[in-house]
Amino acid sequence: MRPNEPAGRNVSLIVGMGQRIRARREDLQMTQRMVAESLGGLMDWTAISRVESGKRDLRASEIIAIAWVLDVDPGFLLAGGNGDRGLTYRTGYRAG
């Protein structure tokens, strides 16, 4: 198993997070390369592709950075929810 490759029961969490990242990226009409460039070298576009396909896990710092680029709450990427830009998934108020 490679580093950052999901294992065991975390696979469904990782797949769901990847699906939410892809959906939000597409909503913003961004390519995987654009996201990677916006991350300033933290990840390349192939890593973004692996995340979106559920083949790569993310560190907390990567989740926060991707959420910033995609203008969503990190909690939405992790757990889903109402999912509008910047809304918290628990209370529904606009963050920041």
Specify the pLDDT at position 56: 95
Q: What is the pLDDT of residue 4?
A: 61
Q: What is the pLDDT of residues 11-47, one digit of tens each?
A: 888 999 999 999 999 999 999 999 999 999 999 999 9
| Residue spans of alpha helices (H) in 1-96 | 11-27, 32-38, 45-52, 60-70, 74-79
Say what the pLDDT of residue 8 is. 58
Question: Whose CA is closest to 59, among 78, 34, 46?
Answer: 78
CA torsion angle 79 84 90 93 (round to 10): 160
Look up the pTM and report it.
Answer: 0.77
Dihedral angle computed from the Cα positions of residues 51, 65, 82 and 32, in that order, rounded to the nearest 10 degrees = -40
Q: Which residues contact 3 (CB under 8 A, 6 or more apart)?
A: none
pLDDT band at 9 (very low <50, low <70, confident <90, very high): low
The percentage of the chain sitting over the pLDDT mark of 90, rounded to a whole number, equals 68
| pLDDT of 95 | 39
